[in-house]
Structures are given as structure tokens and as C-alpha cells.
Amino acid sequence: MILVTGGTKGIGKAILEKFMQNGHDAITCSRNNEELFALKKELETKYSTKENPVVLYYRQADLSKKEDIISFGEYAKKIILLNEKEAKKENSIKKGFEVMVNNTGVFIPGKILEEEEGNFEFQIHTNLFSAYHLTRIIAPILIERKNGHLFNICSTASITAYPNGGSYCISKFALHGMTKVLRQELKEDNIKVTSVMPGPTYTSSWEGAGLPEERFMPSNDIAQSIYSVYSLSNQTVVEEIIMRPQLGDI
């Protein structure tokens, strides 16, 4: 089983598709309940088989709000524990909960000295606090099993400041820093931690940019990289994945 926040679009949806295609049940969230319902129907129809039905669990949540983070985290924890209990009863061949992906994020361009009041708080809450609080709820399950992989979707903006990056760069630098700390804290518990830093990827964030789609990386490439890293042996962890379009950043 895998947990992916912000799963209805872009990178989050691509990750869900990749893992469900390979037989994993999944949990996700989004601010839009109708999109979540449609996603569940789409992915279960595409990837369930008679021999191995896959299930997408979801809950509407705005992860810029702490109360929604806590509510979603408790829901996810309940689903994880219930499913593992049922799997033991039925001697299921499915793997238990293994992977958590903090994917929720928002990009609002602007310069630090010029951006609108509130941009900093909103992006910090969405891009950083959501991952911080949710990890504190869910990671103890992985620690108890002494097995699992945590991915934080950072950005090349986590390591390279750029004009008009403003509070977005700040939030992503902080998320990358948190990922480095978690790597050190969790390695003795056999939990892998990976910082994923994609450059411009073709998602809704770039809608209206007026650039050709082929100038961007496809979300599926990010998902494929994550799945490949997840599939490595227990002796190896990829600490950082840095990906850019072939022609470089935009």
C-alpha cells in the first residue's frame, strides 16, 4: 500500500497510476471531492484484475490547514491498520503499507520584497507544514515495521534559487532540509528517505505559460523514477533524485 498526497493531478496522479498498475492499494487526498471520486473510478477500473483487485481510498482535505492534515493523517492510519488486519485474516499476497509520498504543493511566483501578503504563509503551510505534520502521524507505522520508504517531492528550486521564486523557493529549500534530517533520523529503523527534485514538469502549475508541452518533463517520468528507486534492494537508498528537461530549466 502507498500513500500519496495531492493525487488527482500531475505528479501525484502519475505516482498512483504507476503503483496501482503494479498491484498496490493506495490512499490519497485532494481539496476537490468530485475529482477524487472520478479518480477512484478511473484507476480502479484501469488497474484492478480478478486475481488482484486494487483499491484507491481517498479523503477530501486541504493540506494548507493543520486540522485537515491531522484529519487526513488519522483517516490514513485507520485504513492502513484495518487493511493489514484484514490481509492477515485472508492470507493475502498483497504487501502491507510501505511507501509514503508527500506530494502536495503549490507554486505562486513572486519576489520576496514584492509578493502579496500571505503568500509566504500559504506556501510554507502547503509545501512544508503538510509534509511535516503528516510524516509525524504516519512514519511511526513504518518505524514499527522496520521497513518502508518516504519520498518528499521537493524541486530543483530546493537547491537553486531563481528570480521570482520568492516564498516557493524558501518552502522547497526547507522541505529538502527536512528530508535530509529525516534521512539521518530514520536510517537505523530501516526506513529509506528520498528527496525528489524535478525541474519543470508538465502539470497544471504551468498552464497558460505559452510553452510547448515537449519543453517539459512528463509526470510519468517522475513516477517511473520513484518506482525504480523504490524497487532497489534493502541495502541501497537513493537519497536524492534530480531531474531536469533535456534543454534545461525554463
Contact 119, 168 (CB under 8 A): no
What pLDDT does 209 receive? Answer: 66
Q: What is the number of other CB atoms lying within 10 angstroms of the CB of residue 192?
A: 23
Q: Print pLDDT tens along the chain (250 aa).
A: 999 999 999 999 999 999 999 999 999 999 999 999 999 999 999 999 988 899 999 999 999 999 999 999 999 999 999 988 877 766 665 678 999 999 999 999 999 999 999 999 999 999 999 999 999 999 999 999 999 999 999 999 999 999 999 999 999 999 999 999 999 999 999 999 999 999 989 777 666 667 788 889 999 999 999 999 999 999 999 999 999 999 998 8
What pLDDT does 202 receive? Answer: 79
Starting at the earlier edge strand, list the strands of the sheet with 2-5. Answer: 56-60, 26-30, 2-5, 99-102, 148-153, 191-198, 240-243
Please provide the DSSP assignment of 94-123 as one string: S--S-EEEE---------TTTSPTTHHHHH
Cα–Cα distance measured from residue 224 to residue 22, given in angstroms and rounded to the nearest whole number:
12
Q: What is the number of other CB atoms lying within 10 angstroms of the CB of residue 123?
A: 25
What pLDDT does 51 receive? Answer: 86
What pLDDT does 39 receive? Answer: 98
Cα–Cα distance measured from residue 167 to residue 107, given in angstroms and rounded to the nearest whole number:
9
What pLDDT does 249 receive? Answer: 86
Show the 3-state SS of 165-210: CHHHHHHHHHHHHHHHHHHHHHHHHCEEEEEEEECCECCHHHCCCC
What pLDDT does 212 receive? Answer: 84
CATH 3.40.50.2020 applies to domain 2-243: no
What pLDDT does 42 receive? Answer: 98
Q: Where are the domains of the chain?
A: 2-243
Q: What are phi and psi of 179, to 5 degrees?
A: -65, -40
Cα–Cα distance measured from residue 45 to residue 37, given in angstroms and rounded to the nearest whole number:
12
